[in-house]
Structure 1
Amino acid sequence: MLFYIFAAVAVLSGAYMVLTRNLLYAGFSLLLTLLSVAAIYVLLFADFVAVTQLMVYVGGVLVLILFGIMLSSRVHDKSVMSENVNVGWGITISMLTLIGLSYTIWKVGFSSLPWIQQADTNVLAGQKSTVQMIGIKLMTDFVLPFEIASLLLLIALIGAAYIATDKQKV
């Protein structure tokens, strides 16, 4: 029951985000969408993905977007509004995608899949947190890719700071 509530909130707030002309309302609608997706991850016992969703998207990206919208929303006393161009095409393509995905899901027959047949046991019986296992794997087997990714992010941060600096001639 909770899954359907959070799924409905995610879909409705996502639709409102796409259809509204006010960018600030679209940003807050994106917040609601991302929070409901994180709640769905919690319901699926994907605790690491849910925390990552909250930390990265809600905590980082969305706050940056909202600050950008709020700081630049008044340009010469005119409110920044988006233009809804080709809304009909967007609705048509999304409906065709929904119909195609629904048909595919209906034709698959999930009850015949072997990994679903094996999952007839109690779901909560063997559940453990995945965070500890991911942390151990990240710091032992995958430490080199982790460090390379951190160096690439550091280089991107330094490059962004260099581009953003005011280059005045001395």
Structure 2
Amino acid sequence: MINIVFWFFVILTIAAALIVVLSKNLVYAAMALLVTLLGVAAMYIFLWADFLAGTQVMIYIGGILILLLFGIMLTHKITSVRISHTNVQRGVGALIVAAIFAGLAWMVNITPWLNIPVQEPQQTVHDIGILLMTDFLLPFEVASVLLLGALIGAAVLARKES
């Protein structure tokens, strides 16, 4: 049963990614990107990487994709704009993609999958939280202060002069 659900998400993610690339309507492409990112988050859950799944949803879907959708909605007449897919670099890009796919397929083929030991699933969120509050407390706080400074700087720049 788990294999069926996993392959459902794999096929859904690949199909949505193809729609993102091949769609001529930006709104459809953005919605397909939403499905693609949700599919990737589902695959992270299958890999017992619950922290990465949550991060995927919060950062990419909750932040970047919503920003992209606001940009599309606030741009006038963006739904009627058609994107041209004819390009000089299309053939070169297809060759590069085929070479990368062939390299990845070769690497998957030569990997001795049966010799790799299976690890027990772990609670990654708990372990990351413990590490952030003990061993990596100083870098965590430095990153927090840096983000706070960027937020204050953005607020100062966005403020209207009276």
Same fold, TM-score > 0.5, yes or no: yes
Counterpart amino acid of residue 72 in structure 2? I
Aligned pair partner of 1:143 in 137, 143, 146: 137
Change (3 A) 1:82 1:73: farther
Q: Across the two proteins, how many residue pairs are aligned to each other?
A: 157
State how far apart, in whole Å, the 2-side matches of 1:16 and 1:63 are.
18
Please report how far the alpha carbon of residue 45 of structure 1 lies from its aligned counterpart in structure 2 after TM superposition: 1.2
Please report how far the alpha carbon of residue 128 of structure 1 lies from its aligned counterpart in structure 2 after TM superposition: 4.1
Q: Look up the SS of the partner of 1:3 in the other structure.
A: helix
- 1:28-48 CA distance string (max 9 Å, x none): 111000000000011111111
63-72 or 156-165: bigger deviation = 156-165
Matched, 1:59 2:62: yes
Q: What's the TM-score once normalised by structure 1's chain length?
A: 0.80
- 1:81-121 CA distance string (max 9 Å, x none): 43323433333321221111101221232323xxx2x32xx
Aligned pair partner of 2:98 in 95, 98, 111: 95
Counterpart amino acid of residue 153 in structure 2? G
Aligned pair partner of 1:104 in 100, 104, 107: 107
Q: Look up the SS of the partner of 2:129 in the other structure.
A: helix
- 1:47-85 CA distance string (max 9 Å, x none): 11111111111111111111111111427xx83443323
- 1:105-154 CA distance string (max 9 Å, x none): 21232323xxx2x32xxx6xx54422112111111111111111122222
Counterpart amino acid of residue 146 in structure 1? F
Identical aligned pairs, as a percentage? Answer: 45
State how far apart, in whole Å, the 1-side matches of 2:23 and 2:92 are.
16
Structure 1 counterpart of 2:84: 83
Say if 1:73 and 1:80, in contact at 8 Å, map to a contact too: no
Aligned pair partner of 1:134 in 128, 132, 135: 128
